[in-house]
Amino acid sequence: MREMAFFREIEHVELPWGERSIHCPEFYYDAMMLGAQFLAPTEQVKALLPSERIHPLRVVPWRSIVSVTAFEYRDSDIGPYNEVSIGIPFTLDAASPLFTGTLRKGPEAPRVYVHSLPVTTQIARDADCARRRLRATQASTLPATPSSWPTSSSRRRMAG
């Protein structure tokens, strides 16, 4: 897949990072992803958010959505690594309307606050930090952290 014209046509930017440089954007040539959405108590989800301006996307008045996504990057510009994202879809400055299936249209451009993003290699963490520096004008979330995951100590129970 590395030989596809698509990858050759996009220019990389070299970002100095410590004693090495990281290419941005980095390309992912072979990856797998598994994601799931869960309902969690709205008050517990709100407690995880960094600002009172951020309101979790609610399905019913007392339950909000929490997203868990796992990635296995088997071939990328920064080598193979894995990551797990725990995200909270949100609206800004106003509580979300209740999601009632097809009866009501959802937010135009849902945003996701990334509460946790453990990765399995240091270079994956460094690449994430370099990307954040490159797009410093955009809203940021928590940085990726190297982890030998899965670990039971990193799980949070959000049952209600």
Domain ranges in the chain? 28-151
| Residues of the chain where predicted confidence (pLDDT) is lower than 50 | 102, 137-143, 148-160
Q: Are strands 28-41 and 58-60 parallel, antiparallel or unpaired?
A: unpaired
**CA 60 – CA 110 distance, rounded (Å):** 17
Q: Are 26 and 135 in contact (CB under 8 A)?
A: no
89 within 8 A of 57, measured Cβ to Cβ:
yes
pLDDT at 30: 94
pLDDT tens digits, one per residue of 121-145:
988 888 877 676 665 533 444 445 5
Q: For position 16, what pLDDT does the model report?
A: 78
